[in-house]
Structure 1
Amino acid sequence: MRKLIFGINTTLDGCCDHTKGNANEEVHEYFTQLLREADVLLYGRKTYELMVPFWPDVAKNPSSPTTALDDFAKAFDAVNKIVVVSKTLEKAEGNKTAIIRTNLREEILKLKQEEGKAIVTGGVDVPSQLLQLGLIDEYHVVVHPVIAGEGRRLFDGINLPEQSQLKLAGSKVFKSGHVALRYMKG
């Protein structure tokens, strides 16, 4: 069975607004490696529209010399994308993107049963729904050495039927002070 991996950047105070952290080469390299272990990206409409067309455009116009941003863009562009239960996104860009408009739980369970590499999700709304449904198998949280003081918080306002116990599967401290934490479902 394919595993569903949630990857996110957050500040020390739990803010996951993409404008509040300070991603650098090391962080992009970390997430590039995660993307190389996947063949499907699963996003809500908001996160999808933040990522596309930005990263595909970077992949088409890499900088010279190649940077971690370019490598991330190429890895992002190579992976199929699914936009989850969007009612407002009429069509997706490119032939590597599909839209799920039906039951999220059923569609993700079907996707997990298919042959292939890992499924990676990011953002806030869809991963919160997936957490509530008990579908996330692994969590990759990169903590930025920043206190934002404001902004959207990770898993703010979710209601779980029971506490979700996780097991630390790995950690990595970057020279920049960022810390990557990897947790598995307990």
Structure 2
Amino acid sequence: MRKVIYGINLSADGCCDHTKFGGGGETHEYFTDLMRDVDLIIYGRKTYELMVPYWPDVAKKQSETKVVNEFAQTFDAIDKVVFSRTLDKVEGNTKLIRSNLGDEVLKLKQESGKNISIGGVSLPSELIALGLVDEFYFLVHPTIVGEGRRLFDDTGFDLQQRLKLADSRVLDSGCVSLHYLKR
């Protein structure tokens, strides 16, 4: 069975709002490496609209640094699924699904292939509550922002889940990579 993996950037005080802190080349390298073992990305509408068409455009134009362009190309090449009841259309190698999130993700997990990556906050929170997320990759940035959306703040779910630390490392930038497995 395929694994569902969740990767996200966080500030040291738990903020997951990407506009509150910067990334950098090392961050893009980290997520490019993570995506090498992925052949499907699942998003909700909001995250999809943040990622597409921005990253496919960077991939086509090669308009950023070498590291950022490589991330864009890796991202663009991976098939995507968007769960939305309000989105009218999707672009490129993306499929729109309007039906039951849990049932559909369980079906996708049972298909052959590499890992399935999920992103954003709301959709991953729902999948975590359903017990469908297998691994967590938190990239904690060495900054305190003091404001902004916190991971799982407004989910309304009982998300208590015990995790097992599989790996941790400190990047040159001071970011700390934490890789957890669902117990």
Specify if TM > 0.5: yes
Output the CA distance in 2 between the equivalents of 1:146 and 1:50: 23
Counterpart among 114, 119, 124 of residue 117 in structure 1: 114
Preserved CA contact (<8 Å) 1:44 1:123: yes
Task: Give the counterpart letter for 2:70 in structure 1.
Answer: D
SS in structure 2 opposite 1:13? Answer: coil
Preserved CA contact (<8 Å) 1:7 1:121: yes
Output the CA distance in 2 between the equivalents of 1:116 and 1:47: 23
Q: Deviations over 1:109-139 (max 9, x none)?
A: 0000001000001110100101111100000
Task: Give the counterpart letter for 1:124 in structure 2.
Answer: V
Counterpart of 1:22? 22
Task: Give the counterpart letter for 1:172 in structure 2.
Answer: R
Output the CA distance in 2 between the equivalents of 1:175 and 1:42: 30
Counterpart of 1:93? 91
Counterpart of 1:81? 80
How many pairs align? 182
Counterpart of 2:58? 58
**Structure 1 residue 157, shift from structure 2 partner:** 3.2
**Structure 1 residue 166, shift from structure 2 partner:** 0.3
Matched, 1:108 2:105: yes
Counterpart of 1:71? 70
Q: Cα RMSD (Å) of the superposition?
A: 1.2
Counterpart of 2:11? 11
Output the CA distance in 1 between the equivalents of 2:69 and 2:166: 28
Matched, 1:177 2:178: no
Counterpart among 150, 153, 157 of residue 156 in structure 1: 153
Preserved CA contact (<8 Å) 1:9 1:21: no
**Structure 1 residue 46, shift from structure 2 partner:** 0.5
Runs (4 or more) in structure 1 with deviation over 4 Å come to none
Task: Give the counterpart letter for 1:112 in structure 2.
Answer: K
Which 5+ residue runs of structure 1 have no aligned equivalent?
Answer: none
